[in-house]
Amino acid sequence: AQTVTQSQPEMSVQEAETVTLSCTYDTSESDYYLFWYKQPPSRQMILVIRQEAYKQQNATENRFSVNFQKAAKSFSLKISDSQLGDAAMYFCAYRSAKAPRDDKIIFGKGTRLHILP
């Protein structure tokens, strides 16, 4: 069974600085998808970024980028120029690339990110 591990329950970063959130996963599959979700205090879970395992290029979305290391099964999220609005719980998630019927997305326990003004 696949697992997703986020080893940092909480992190803090100074506003305008860069922070990296760690995520590792375990799978025997070669094709899959990885996601980072953000859940601000208002509780709406928002998709931040998506990575396809067969693509070597790291996904980026504005100030958010990932460092995808397939061999190491590592998928970290880098937030550049941190802003107060980035304060949230961040979840790393894994989804198999099997047929769509296998709909499970497996989530890590999350990392709470604090932004210090």
Alpha-carbon distance of 28 to 95, in angstroms, equals 13
Q: Is 91 in the site for other proteins (CB under 8 A)?
A: yes
Question: Among candidates 42, 38, 44, which has minimal Cα distance to 93?
Answer: 38
Which member of 10, 109, 114, 116 binds other proteins (CB under 8 A)? 109
**Cα 111–Cα 82–Cα 6 angle in degrees, nearest 5:** 15
Three-state secondary-structure class, residue 87: coil
**17-76 binders of other proteins (CB under 8 A):** 33, 35, 37, 42-47, 50, 52
Judged by CB under 8 A, which stretch of 11-19, 20-28, 65-73, 107-115 contacts other proteins?
107-115
Interacting residues toward other proteins by CB under 8 A: 33, 35, 37, 42-47, 50, 52, 91, 95, 97-101, 103-105, 107-110
